[in-house]
């Protein structure tokens, strides 16, 4: 099994803290203080990202067990960039909101660097999956 250095564990913890803090400042005010006319899609997004922030806090204590939280961050941002931002950019139709979301996705680079990829490969890809039957 791939050994993860103590330094890498601290890098992961700092990454979880960065994710949690960013969401705390940008998402939680909209969760706590909102009017009755918040569109449902905005409410769902805030709730989902609020849950990610809580799980990221748990990642500070359990950095390897909570790696799926960082996988989720990578996945949704990649899907958004490829399915929505890239077509708008190609059509030269990027508005201010899309540009801001793209800037908000830049810290994804930190997540990609922080993840211990050898550990991920050995424990999520090469490792045999759980059994399906008795």
pLDDT digits (tens, 9 = 90+) for 93-116: 999 999 999 999 999 999 999 999
User: Model pTM?
Assistant: 0.89
Can you give the pLDDT at residue 134?
A: 86
Closest CA relative to residue 105, chosen from 129, 68, 80: 80
Q: Which burial class, exposed, middle or buried, applies to 4 when counting CB atoms under 10 A from its CB (0-12, 13-18, 19+)?
A: middle
> What whole-number distance in Å separates Cα of residue 12 and Cα of residue 76?
19
Give tens-digit pLDDT for 40-95: 999 999 999 999 999 999 999 999 999 999 999 999 999 999 999 999 999 999 99
| C-alpha 13 chain-centroid distance | 14
């Amino acid at each position: 099994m791939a050994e993860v250095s103590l330094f890498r564990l601290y890098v992961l913890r700092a990454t979880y803290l960065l994710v949690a803090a960013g969401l705390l400042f940008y998402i939680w005010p909209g969760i706590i203080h909102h009017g009755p006319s918040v569109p449902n899609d905005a409410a769902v997004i805030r709730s989902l990202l609020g849950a990610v922030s809580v799980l990221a806090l748990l990642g500070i204590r359990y950095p390897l067990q909570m790696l799926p939280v960082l996988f989720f961050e990578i996945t949704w941002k990649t899907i958004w960039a490829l399915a929505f931002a890239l077509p708008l950019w190609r059509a030269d139709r990027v508005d201010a909101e899309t540009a801001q979301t793209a800037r908000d996705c830049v810290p994804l680079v930190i997540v990609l660097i922080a993840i211990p990829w050898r550990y991920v490969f050995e424990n999520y890809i090469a490792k045999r999956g759980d059994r399906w039957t008795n």
